[in-house]
Amino acid sequence: MYSSKPNVVIILFALFSFIGQTLKAQDDIIPSIFDKACTFDSYRLDILVKNDSLYKATVLLNEAISFSKKYNLKATEAKSYNAMGLVLSKMYNFKKAASYQEQALKIYDSLIDDKGRDLALHGLVRTYTLEKNNTKFDSIYPIAQQLSKTLNSEVYFLNLNHKLKKDYYSLDNASLLAVSNLALNLLKTTDFENLNYSKSYKTKHLKAYLFQSYSYYNGIANAKLDLNNPSNYDVIFSINENDLEASLKTDINSIRKIATLNYYKYLYYTRANKNLDSANKYILKSDSYKYDALASIDEKNIRNGDLIYKIVNAEQKLNLANEKRVKDLKTAKTFIVTTAIMSILLIITLTIFFFYFKAKKNMIRMNKALKGSNSRLLEIDKDRLEFFSILSHELRTPIYGISGLATLIDQEKDGSKRQSYLDSLISSSNYLSILIDNILQANRLKFEKKNLREKPDKIRKIVNHVMSTVAIAAKNKGLDLEVHIDSSDEEEHILVDKVAFSQILINLAYNAIRYTKEGHVAINVFEKARNETDITLRFEVKDTGIGIKEEHRHVVFSAFENKTFLNKNSSGSGLGLYIVKTLLKSHDSDIDFVSTPNEGTCFFFEITFKFADTINNKNAISFLPKRDMRILIVDDNKINLLITQKNIEKIKGYSCKTCSDGKEAISLVKAKDYDLVLTDINMPDMDGYEVAKHIRMFNSGIPILALTALNSNEISVKAEAAGIDHIITKPYIFDDFKATIISYSGNNSNYCRIMDPEAI
């Protein structure tokens, strides 16, 4: 049997060579439906897209892509990808649209085709605008405009229009006003007949369309300068509504724009020129257009779903057509493959005994491996049962402490003792909050990388906050807290995610306090390196606790396993160090430690931070009211409602109104001039997302902030789509809560901008 093995290999090689040559010959002689020349009809495609014939456009583009790939026609392939991106963006599939346009841009780059690059970059600018992806828009827009300007292309003016849309969506009125003024001036001085058009034909009435669109955004920007000044509405009233509607037929938000135009006319008659009859006329007209816009969007969403279904069916039909085209080839291939299979079966029969003995040997080895795996699973199950037993103890301990301390505070008359009990209550509450957050993060960070939200801050301020958080826990154990931070410029700020970074230090500090019976816990910060743009800092958390043996180093940072190196009577969930290591990965860093048993441990890591813009720091501002800020708080939980109300009332110059129902909140915002809305996310009947969506139908300017105990990327995406400006995660630090509320006060005309030394 062993001597026949080389012969088997030779036979197989000869057989497969024969099959390959035969199949290649079949492919060469079969006629293709793509043998005819394929032309890319840009004008026809644009007409299909304009008329919302997206299904026909997709079929046309799929054929063009297949043909260009088959015959390596790179220019046609790039043009097809870019056009497919346009179609997909019309269907609100922005991520897929951007991926097609990026492929087109790569091909145009390889072909050194500037005209093609101009179109591809414009496609990306358009997609990022509709997606409201400001980060990617800001990165691609200057590149696109530079190229369009060099080519003297009409795309330059189309990109300007998307810049205006982006500023409008972002509520950046200063940029909206400046860019719209610039755009209108350029439009007046530019002869569109002398432009180098990016396509093979000129778009009809392009200049008129752009003029109406630029005027629309310019009118809104001027009105926002001062809603009480009648002259600021001149541009709004100079726009002919019929001309605007006619010029915006290709704009997916055309009905909404007409609604907004009428809304600002309503503002004119309510704020600048008191005329109730005219005001009612325009608000009714605006609401009518808004409801038409919502109906149009719903209809488009339904149609897009049907289109996707039809496109899938079209692809299946195209596959069937291709199968029919090569039917004869498949028949020949089937015969050859059948012959090959019979030959292979014959060879397999000759070697069956060899593989039988080999399989038997493998089965014996696999049985041994399965027994070992089963033993390991039993050990893991035991470890997890132990973990949940420990976790149950860790949860019950602070809960018992909170309940007992609350009773003692209620019964105690002595003020100093009440304060002592209150400090212990806060410590137990902080520990419980961190423990629950660690449990939730351990599961979430396992499946998704932490996205850092970096903002300017001082490292000294963050470290001091961490020390104050753990101070009571250290005091209760009689431990000294020590801190050392290398000196630096007081005006120096770094970009840091305060929440994530504080969580790293707090977990390390609590871990040190937990396993230290006497002595001290220290946090040290040393400067390792710096240049003009960034600084590298080394952080150390040292204790005089029980220490860690070297043999246990490999399990210290493993969730569920790191209990093995601790004493029987030690406490802790075993998740803190795992969370720390996982969060440091998001900072492109890692953690290590040195330890001597019964003497102490020092955990250390290094992170490189970028310096924040010093100009922005010096220009930091806060806002003081000319009158009390009126805040509407919406929450179905009475305790949460009371806490939020009391926190708002602690801020000087602020008053609030509370309600526990989403529908009532919408009615209150319509009836009264509130300056800001604070709403819970999870509420019965109507949640926070729905409340925000309804308010945005009639009030696009009021800041809406969400209060929620949830924290994930999905929540952020849904909140942005609903029109929520900011998410405040519960539980929060009051100073951070106060700073957030004050920062959104600046969007209201009742506030004046002043320098705040504490904000610098």
Q: What is the DSSP string of 542-600?
A: EE-SS---GGGGGGTTSTTTGGGGS-TT----S-HHHHHHHHHHHTT--EEEEEETTTE
Q: What is the predicted pLDDT for the residue at 495? A: 93
Direct distance between the N- and C-terminal alpha carbons of the chain, in angstroms, rounded to an integer: 85
Distance CA 724, CA 708 (A): 12
Characterize 573-609 residue by residue with b for buried, 16 or more Cβ atoms within 10 angstroms of its Cβ, and e for exposed. Answer: bbbbbbbbbbbbebbebebebebeeeebbbbbbbbbb
- The residue-averaged pLDDT of 79-105 equals 89
* Average predicted confidence (pLDDT) for the chain: 79
Contacts of 208 (CB under 8 A, 6+ apart): 243, 247
Q: What is the predicted pLDDT for the residue at 118? A: 93
Q: What is the predicted pLDDT for the residue at 398? A: 65
* Identity of residue 310: K
In the structure, what pLDDT confidence band is assigned to residue 1 with cuts at 50, 70 and 90? very low
Q: Is the pLDDT of residue 6 over 70?
A: no
Going by the DSSP 8-state scheme, the letter that residue 626 receives in this structure is S
Q: What is the predicted pLDDT for the residue at 520? A: 94
Distances (CA, A) of 681 to 281, 338, 661, 713: 35, 63, 12, 15
- The residue-averaged pLDDT of 722-727 equals 91
- The residue-averaged pLDDT of 414-438 equals 70
Distance CA 198, CA 119 (A): 7
* Tally of CB atoms within 10 A around 398: 21
Q: Which of 210-214, 376-380, 549-553, 559-563 has the lowest mean pLDDT?
A: 559-563
Q: What is the predicted pLDDT for the residue at 32? A: 40
Q: What is the predicted pLDDT for the residue at 440? A: 57
Distance CA 174, CA 165 (A): 13
Is beta strand 534-543 parallel, antiparallel or unpaired with respect to 600-610?
antiparallel
* Tally of CB atoms within 10 A around 114: 14
Which one has a higher pLDDT value, 711 or 132? 132
Q: Residue 540 corresponds to which tokens in the numbers above?
A: 């150390």
Q: Residue 745 corresponds to which tokens in the numbers above?
A: 């006060």
- The residue-averaged pLDDT of 286-305 equals 65
Q: Which of 180-189, 318-327, 499-508 has the lowest mean pLDDT?
A: 318-327
Q: Residue 305 corresponds to which tokens in the numbers above?
A: 């779903």
- Per CATH, is 452-616 categorized as 3.30.565.10? yes
Q: Residue 594 corresponds to which tokens in the numbers above?
A: 């040195």
Q: What is the predicted pLDDT for the residue at 49? A: 62
In the chain, the percentage of residues whose pLDDT exceeds 90 is 32
Query: Could you tell me the CATH superfamily of domain 42-246?
Result: Tetratricopeptide repeat domain (1.25.40.10)
In the structure, what pLDDT confidence band is assigned to residue 202 with cuts at 50, 70 and 90? confident
CATH among 3.40.50.2300, 3.40.50.1100, 3.40.50.300, 3.30.43.10 for 620-759: 3.40.50.2300
Displacement of CA 490 from its chain's centroid (Å): 33
Distances (CA, A) of 632 to 30, 54, 629, 703: 73, 44, 10, 11
Q: Which of 288-297, 439-448, 606-615, 740-749 has the lowest mean pLDDT?
A: 439-448
Distances (CA, A) of 59 to 89, 321, 442, 692: 16, 13, 46, 39
Is beta strand 654-659 parallel, antiparallel or unpaired with respect to 520-530?
unpaired
Residue linked to tokens 């506030």: 751
Which one has a higher pLDDT value, 175 or 759? 175
The helix (run of H) or strand (run of E) holding residue 39 is none
In the structure, what pLDDT confidence band is assigned to residue 313 with cuts at 50, 70 and 90? low
Contact criterion met (CB below 8 Å) for 648 and 633:
yes
The 10s digit of each residue's pLDDT in 457-474 is 899 988 988 888 888 888
Q: What is the DSSP string of 275-315?
A: -HHHHHHHHHHHHHHHHHHHHHHHHHHHHHHHHHHHHHHHH
Is beta strand 751-755 parallel, antiparallel or unpaired with respect to 621-625?
antiparallel
Selection from 631, 682, 694, 692 nearest residue 659 by Cα: 631
* Identity of residue 78: A
The 10s digit of each residue's pLDDT in 329-386 is 666 677 778 888 877 887 888 888 788 878 878 888 888 888 887 777 776 666 565 5
Q: Residue 169 corresponds to which tokens in the numbers above?
A: 């969506």
Contacts of 269 (CB under 8 A, 6+ apart): 275, 276, 278, 279, 282
Q: Is the pLDDT of residue 403 over 90?
A: no
* Identity of residue 709: A
Contact criterion met (CB below 8 Å) for 192 and 207:
yes
